Structure 1
Amino acid sequence: MDGTLLNSEGSVSDVNVSAIKNSKIPFTLVSARAPMEMSAAIDKLNLTDPQIGFNGGLIYKKTNSGFKVLDDKPLNMTSFRKLIKVIQNKFPDVSCSCYGLNAWYTERIDEGINYESKLTGQKATLIDFADLVDTKLYKIMMITFDLNLMEQLNQMLLNLKITNVSIKRSGDNYLEITSDLAQKSKGIKYIQDSENLIKKEMAAFGDGHNDLPMLTNVGVPIVMANAPLEIQQYGEYITKSNDDNGVAYGIESFLEK
């Protein structure tokens, strides 16, 4: 969603909405975001098909009564506690929060939390992470605007070599941790199997490193113009940027031609 369907202001343009609705193509959002952060886009696009959150850690449908879980891969809580301890002890200046199905948790409101709240329109719940022992969690999110600190954090966590987690940058300022079973490719496979599709019948739009498992598992990978060059090489097509209605352009130019 971010950097792809959403523009820099964090919204879906009317041009993208119109193109998606008029295409009549079944459309699934695949995002590192939580369901509550995807909800507005789902409603705006009138999506009724399964959606994929937490980089594939959660497959769900949005219903009138909430989010119906179809498949999920939550974090291992022993690994969660180990990671949180390292992050808080070694990197106290990094903004750290985590997500359950219906809530966003943090121990303090800081610059990173305020930044994310403004971007997504969500409000974080203040809580002691130790109290989440019986809560199913899907993602740890860290934010820092110090790129050197981000690199140090990333390397430190990778050096822990925790085998049941996936640690990925989702932007210059974001580092996110999910279960190692949470992969966008697994979400794509779920859709493929449930709809009896073959690879060449599937297309995907992406712009970041965490999109590569998705882009390499569809027949028509479309990469945004705002994506790094190392990501663009994975696209069969390069569409316009997210601020220039690249999803709409891609649908009309490459999928409906």
Structure 2
Amino acid sequence: MKPLSSFKPQAVFSDIDGTLLTSEHVVSPLTSSAIHTLTDQGVLFTISSARSPSGIRPIIKKNDFHCCTIAFSGALILDEDQNILYEKGISISDASKIIDVIEKKCPHVTWNVFTSEDWIVKDRTDPHVIHEETIVETTSIERSLQSLSDTLMVDKILCMCDSEYMSPSETLLRKYFPELSIARSSDSLLEIMAGGINKAEAVKYLCDLRKIPLTSTIAFGDNYNDLEMLEAVGCGVLMGNAPSELQKHFSFVTKSNDQDGIFQAFKELGVLN
């Protein structure tokens, strides 16, 4: 929804990759300044990402943001001091079953397992893993799921593959695990979380906790795993670099992440006036 006049939000939620960050993986000065202006006015700013907390913290630190964190597309919510407010994951036994299907049925897919603090992979030399480590500025660990404690919770399983394998892999995994939340975060990344997990539910949980009406919120995103969040808030803003199929369904499409899309949307909405 796009307001017809100036909009004064009580909370702003933003995805990271393709949204808050430019293609150079930095927050632009205009966007950073706008966010600081709003938080100085008491607006709640929350980063809402498929990333792990360890992949989000460098962004918070570099930009001196005072914000909450929605990690793993909603499976984990942290307050401004990185205390856990909410967590819902997949059991080790269920995660093992998912990995087994991936290895047997999706040979072109690289799997990754995330707990609240660790990023576990089968092979750190995998090109997909190396590329992801560079982007998120954190390090994976080579371990097997069997080596993990049964009491540990898996917040997310990430599937990496070349884009031509994405659709068939997604279709197969949805068929095998209809009870789970499965969403693309890019044309080469597929997120698997516990059932009922998405960014919208996390936004609702945090707003309820902070007594903020959803009608007084703005959210920014650029991909399919942002869809529910953008539809749940008072003003959902899609980035200009989003897939064309998504853009067909949104009335408010701002500039791209490389054209200060967040800042431009704030200007158009009268948020910074």
User: What TM-score do the two structures reach when normalised by structure 1?
Assistant: 0.91
1:136 aligns with 2:153: yes
Q: CA separation in 2, counterparts of 1:100 and 1:226?
A: 30
Aligned pairs for 1:169-180 within 5 A: 169-180=184-195
1:99 aligns with 2:114: yes
Contact 1:170–1:208 at 8 Å: present in 2 too? Answer: yes
* Matched letter for residue 36 of structure 1: S
Q: After superposition, what is the alpha-carbon deviation per residue over 1:173-217, rounded to whole angstroms, capped at 9, x for unaligned?
A: 111101113211111112221222222211111111111111111
Which residue number in structure 2 is paired with residue 31 of structure 1?
A: 49
- RMSD between superposed Cα atoms in Å: 1.7
Identity of aligned residues (%): 31
Contact 1:105–1:127 at 8 Å: present in 2 too? Answer: yes
Q: After superposition, what is the alpha-carbon deviation per residue over 1:85-124, rounded to whole angstroms, capped at 9, x for unaligned?
A: 0111222332111111111110112011011011111111
Q: After superposition, what is the alpha-carbon deviation per residue over 1:121-165, rounded to whole angstroms, capped at 9, x for unaligned?
A: 1111111122124322101111112x33222211111111341x1
- Pick one of 231, 247, 253 that aligns with 1:238: 253
* Matched letter for residue 115 of structure 1: H
Contact 1:225–1:240 at 8 Å: present in 2 too? Answer: yes
1:68 aligns with 2:83: yes
Q: CA separation in 2, counterparts of 1:120 and 1:28?
A: 18
Aligned pairs for 1:141-160 within 5 A: 141-145=158-162, 147-160=163-176
* Matched letter for residue 189 of structure 2: Y
Q: CA separation in 2, counterparts of 1:76 and 1:90?
A: 21
Structure 2, unpaired ranges of 5+: 1-15
Q: CA separation in 2, counterparts of 1:224 and 1:42?
A: 21
1:55 aligns with 2:70: no
Which residue number in structure 2 is paired with residue 79 of structure 1?
A: 94
Q: Shift of the alpha carbon at 1:62?
A: 5.1
Which consecutive segments of 4 or more residues in structure 1 shift more than 6 A?
Answer: none
Contact 2:69–2:77 at 8 Å: present in 1 too? Answer: yes
Q: How many residues were matched structurally?
A: 252
Q: CA separation in 1, counterparts of 2:194 and 2:201?
A: 12
Structure 1, unpaired ranges of 5+: none
Contact 1:225–1:241 at 8 Å: present in 2 too? Answer: yes
Contact 1:223–1:234 at 8 Å: present in 2 too? Answer: no
* Matched letter for residue 112 of structure 1: H
Q: Shift of the alpha carbon at 1:233?
A: 4.1
Q: Classify the secondary structure of the residue corresponding to 2:158.
A: strand
User: What TM-score do the two structures reach when normalised by structure 2?
Assistant: 0.86
